[in-house]
A and B are shown apart, each in its own frame.
Chain A
């Protein structure tokens, strides 16, 4: 198999996640039932925080790895490796010697091994030590997670890490799909991991004043995308990895195909470091439609970036109207961040998994906590309860970011 100018079809054959809504089976149940994973933060420094809520993923590395192994991996790599192994298992993929050089890893992360770096700084700056653990560099470097996966799976194909803040893992999936499409690889593990709920990181996010206020009646309902009373995003951690492979490769080995990656587009706002732009987001979605060679009216559902900030949700709504015109009022768009919070570098991958589940179950996940209509956010956001859509064929998953890099993925049902 070599590089080709012919475009190969790229399909999703395996899913793995550790999310605030649980691993794959629990996620499938919870995301369509409208369950929130937002809780009181479980950290020892909670009293020093203004923001005391988050959507944390439950994960005990000791259940999956030896102590020798996990103690050399930051949580971001532990999550990435575990979810990759789960995705491989889900894909029923046997990584043969022949496959190893044709299989790689593309991973997105916004903050890499944040805890390991912070632990080092705590020793240096707080405790007055003049040296830090020998593994600090190896645990905190951004490519540690992708490297850990390659080492464990012994895959020697392309291995890269993408860091474009909140769109990191959507970019990783899109770029991995391009590799397969043009023959540079047959199989890719693609997705993202984020484990940044450290004292320093949360303080940095507090300072940005984009975090949701705690709902006084129900803290699990604090993230309210597209609702008039939305106050911001809720931080979350976790990982999501997908097995992507060429259609031929999947068929040849008799793999179950969960969806096809029909299109991928990326663009940069070039507008402002934090403020999104309608033009940039519209360009991103159009690029994906062009890539898929689809007219806008084929998209029936959009898994929105939908962070729950005033600015994002209005901008995304207006960008969808710009791209889809009057048809924007006939498609459905929901923000599952209302349930699982914002996984930053892993968000796009988790939402790509949820979009895949939507196509497989013909069900649109809801935007929960949408109780007060915003006159300017006037599309169908699948408010509060999931909905069946039996003829669902094409869905888009949007990811936008601080720094302006957006990514839209278009997934297609495979019959």
Chain B
């Protein structure tokens, strides 16, 4: 369970860092509406990204909710789960 609250913008920033670290690109190339597939992340990469985010935010993302295409989608999903777990 998450014990810390994050604003949606903070979630976006942290997620951008996680993606940049994963695919080794400059974070400035990653925009909120960036499509994860176009960034080079396939479905397995997305699972791995969610896993890292779950570790970071100390939340659990239900499998049936991993239907995401953009950074914005992931941020919204994670933020909702963080808020509901506090």
Spell out A's residues near B (CB within 8 Å). 66-68, 71-72, 131, 133-135, 138
7 closest Cβ contacts across the A-B interface? Answer: A67-B24, A134-B47, A68-B23, A134-B48, A134-B51, A66-B24, A68-B24
Bound CA span A112–B6, Å: 41
Asked whether, in the complex, the Cβ of A68 is within 8 Å of the Cβ of B48, the reply is: no
Within 7-22 of B, Cβ neighbours of A (below 8 Å) are at 21-22
Question: B22 and A134: CB pair below 8 A?
Answer: no
Bound CA span A138–B47, Å: 13
* Residues from chain A with Cβ under 8 Å of B24 in the complex: 66-68
Contact check, A133 vs B22: say whether CB atoms are below 8 A apart. no
Closest Cβ of chain A: how far from B24's Cβ, in Å?
Answer: 4
Interface check B62, CB cutoff 8 A: no
How far apart sit A258 and B45, CA to CA, in the bound complex (Å)?
41
Report whether A67 and B22 are in contact in the complex, using a CB–CB cutoff of 8 Å. Answer: yes
Give complex CA distance A72, B43 in Å.
13
Expressed in whole angstroms, the Cα–Cα distance for A71 and B48 within the complex equals: 11
- Chain A residue numbers with a CB within 8 Å of B44 are 72, 134-135, 138
Interface majority SS (helix, strand, loop, mixed), chain B = helix
Chain B residues near A133 (CB, 8 Å)? Answer: 48, 51
Compute how far the CA of A138 lies from the CA of B40 in the bound complex, rounded to whole angstroms. Answer: 18
CB distance from B66 to the nearest CB of A (A): 11
A135's nearest neighbour on chain B, judged by CB, is: B48
Instruction: State the interface size on chain B (CB cutoff 8 A).
Output: 10
- Closest chain A residue to B50, Cβ basis: A134
Task: Quote the shortest CB–CB distance from B54 to chain A (angstroms).
Answer: 8
Task: Contact check, A71 vs B47: say whether CB atoms are below 8 A apart.
Answer: no
12 residue pairs A–B, Cβ–Cβ below 8 Å: A66-B23, A67-B21, A67-B22, A67-B23, A67-B24, A68-B23, A72-B48, A133-B48, A134-B48, A134-B51, A135-B44, A138-B44
Instruction: Determine whether the beta carbon of A71 is less than 8 Å from that of B22.
Output: yes
Q: Which residues of A contact B23 (CB under 8 A)?
A: 66-68
| CA distance in complex: A68, B23 (Å) | 5
A134 contacts across to B, CB distance below 8 A: 44, 47-48, 51
B22: nearest residue on chain A (CB-CB)? A68
Query: How long is the Cα–Cα vector from A135 to B24 in the complex, in angstroms?
Result: 18
Question: How many whole Å from B41's CB to the nearest CB in chain A?
Answer: 9
Nearest residue, chain A, Cβ from B21:
A67
Chain B stretch 35-85: residues in CB contact (< 8 A) with chain A: 40, 44-45, 47-48, 51
B45 / chain A contacts, CB cutoff of 8 Å: 68, 72
Q: A132 — nearest CB in chain B belongs to which residue?
A: B51
Which A residue sits closest to B39, measured CB to CB? A68
Q: How far is the CB of B6 from chain A (nearest CB, A)?
A: 21
Alpha-carbon gap, A66 to B44, bound state (A):
17
B45 to chain A, nearest CB (A): 8
CA A135 – CA B47 in complex, angstroms? Answer: 9
Residues of B within 8 A of A135 (CB): 44, 48
> CA–CA, A216 to B26, complex, Å?
50
| Nearest-CB residue, chain B, relative to A66 | B24
CA distance A67 to B23 in the complex (A): 6
User: A77 CB to closest chain B CB, in angstroms?
Assistant: 15
From residue B23, how far is it (CB to closest CB) to chain A in Å?
Answer: 4
The complex places the Cα of A135 from the Cα of B22 at a distance, in Å, of 13
* Measured CA separation A66–B23 after assembly (Å): 8
Tell me, in angstroms, the Cα distance from A138 to B48 when the chains sit together: 12
Query: B25's closest neighbor in chain A, by CB?
Result: A68
Beyond A66-B24, A68-B40, 19 additional pairs, beta carbon < 8 A: A66-B23, A67-B21, A67-B22, A67-B23, A67-B24, A68-B22, A68-B45, A71-B22, A72-B45, A72-B48, A131-B51, A133-B48, A133-B51, A134-B44, A134-B47, A134-B48, A134-B51, A135-B48, A138-B44
Q: Determine how close the nearest CB of chain B comes to the CB of A166; give it in whole angstroms.
A: 33
- Report how far A131 CA is from B55 CA in the complex, Å: 10
Question: How long is the Cα–Cα vector from A135 to B23 in the complex, in angstroms?
Answer: 15
Contacts of A138 in B (CB 8 A): 44
In the complex the two chains form, what is the Cα distance from A392 to B24 in whole Å?
A: 50
Min Cβ gap A331→B in Å is 52
Residues in chain B near residue A67, CB distance under 8 A:
21-24
Q: Find chain A residues with CB under 8 A from B48 CB.
A: 72, 133-135
- Chain B residue contacts of A71, Cβ below 8 A: 22
Closest to A70 in B: B24
Q: Chain B contacts of A131 at CB under 8 A?
A: 51
Give complex CA distance A68, B21 in Å: 8
Min Cβ gap B9→A in Å is 26
A61 to chain B, nearest CB (A): 12
| Residues on B with beta carbons closer than 8 Å to the beta carbon of A66 | 23-24
Smallest CB separation, B1 vs chain A (Å): 13
